Structure 1
């Protein structure tokens, strides 16, 4: 299996355009958001994701297929996931030109992979796609919860019908959903820090690709052919 080294352009280091970032946010909220409780007072909310930390960590996996593939291989090797669950995703993420087309590296900051997504969130809020609410006024329980509104779900459904390539990100989000640690921002963050390349990146530097190592691991585990 041949692998591709991907030097990040400035645009990719920023996660692409604001509209690309906004689209990824809609996908994450739609596919991985949880149903809103019956006591929810957010009008027309259809799904919610707790905390910006979780949104950021899931976005890292969404746009870095080599790291996501490695997490699937870890759970497969540990007997948590079956071969038929991980193989289609791993092959899709590591084969051909998929890494070159779909990798958007992130920079490392104090709390791990970080991307300034406020502009994308502001656009989505402006057009009535999402809203966010603070779950507590202050203290350790304070966080912002992000609600997908009916209009946002309609928007992403229309985009899926008009842009077939968007199916890649739906599949990425479904693959993320196989990882139990993705359910909570803190556990997703801890999981990502177990990657030596991730943890060892200096603050402000781009988290490097692990494509070659993960490809070799997939072959060694008989998940992919050499």
Structure 2
């Protein structure tokens, strides 16, 4: 029985920084701090973004869904690239399904970003009942993501894929994103506290059918 791939806390920190950098909303005032350049609201949204980063087959499927409604060739090309480069096999980091969908504790990875001054976290609500987590990207954090991506091909992949994930997610909130992910039967049918099943073969078949339709 082969062991499932597991990311180190540092790898997870880079992945989360890429997500926050790509999917956050820029701020134009000092309401969150003079060095804060963008914010991302809700842990559920960050978890949903992270799921697509960790499961490239699900991301490719979203690109195909968008292609079928827009006919934008670049979306089809990107989905094909994800599958042809074997990202679903080489880049997949499985997640567990809980009552509210895919989830993994983020504290260790986020603490690395916070201790380095790249991200800060604000919790809104009252003691004992956090209503929302707000992730604040600092100017140092944005620059760090750019610098790291320029220096290492491996990290540039995180930045590039996070940009794709952010496009797929748009401005949609965390719950709605998880609802979209639940539309995939393999995700929805995964038993609680079990690893969410991949959909690579189904997505590849879907891609082949679309491409055959283009040449028919």
Q: Compute the TM-score of the two structures, normalised by the length of structure 2.
A: 0.89
Q: 1:179 to 1:97 in 2, by over 3 A?
A: closer
Name the residue aligned to 1:3. none
Q: Compute the TM-score of the two structures, normalised by the length of structure 1.
A: 0.86
Classify the secondary structure of the residue corresponding to 1:183. coil
Q: Which runs of 5+ in 2 are unaligned?
A: none
Shift of 1:221: 1.0
What is the CA–CA distance in structure 1 between the aligned matches of 2:3 and 2:122, rounded to whole Å?
34
Name the residue aligned to 1:31. 22
Q: CA offsets per residue over residues 2-33 of structure 1, 9 Å max, x none? A: xxxxx873443xxx000011001110111111
RMSD, aligned α-carbons:
2.4
What is the CA–CA distance in structure 2 between the aligned matches of 1:190 and 1:17, rounded to whole Å?
28
* 1:119 aligned onto 2:108: yes
Which of 46-55 and 182-191 deviates more? 182-191
Displacement over 4 Å in runs of 4+? 138-141
In 2, are the aligned partners of 1:35 and 1:47 still within 8 Å (CA)? Answer: yes
Decide which structure has greater strand share.
2
What is the CA–CA distance in structure 1 between the aligned matches of 2:81 and 2:106, rounded to whole Å?
27
Shift of 1:219: 0.8
* 1:9 aligned onto 2:3: yes
In 2, are the aligned partners of 1:69 and 1:90 still within 8 Å (CA)? Answer: yes
What is the CA–CA distance in structure 1 between the aligned matches of 2:46 and 2:99, rounded to whole Å?
17
Name the residue aligned to 2:75. 86
The equivalent position to 1:192 in structure 2, one of 181, 200, 203, is 181
What is the CA–CA distance in structure 2 between the aligned matches of 1:74 and 1:95, rounded to whole Å?
18
Which of 24-33 and 131-140 deviates more? 131-140
Which of 18-27 and 160-169 deviates more? 160-169
Q: Which runs of 5+ in 1 are unaligned?
A: 1-6
Decide which structure has greater helix share.
2
Which of 117-126 and 215-224 deviates more? 215-224
Aligned residues: 214
In 1, are the aligned partners of 2:28 and 2:37 still within 8 Å (CA)? Answer: no
Shift of 1:170: 2.3
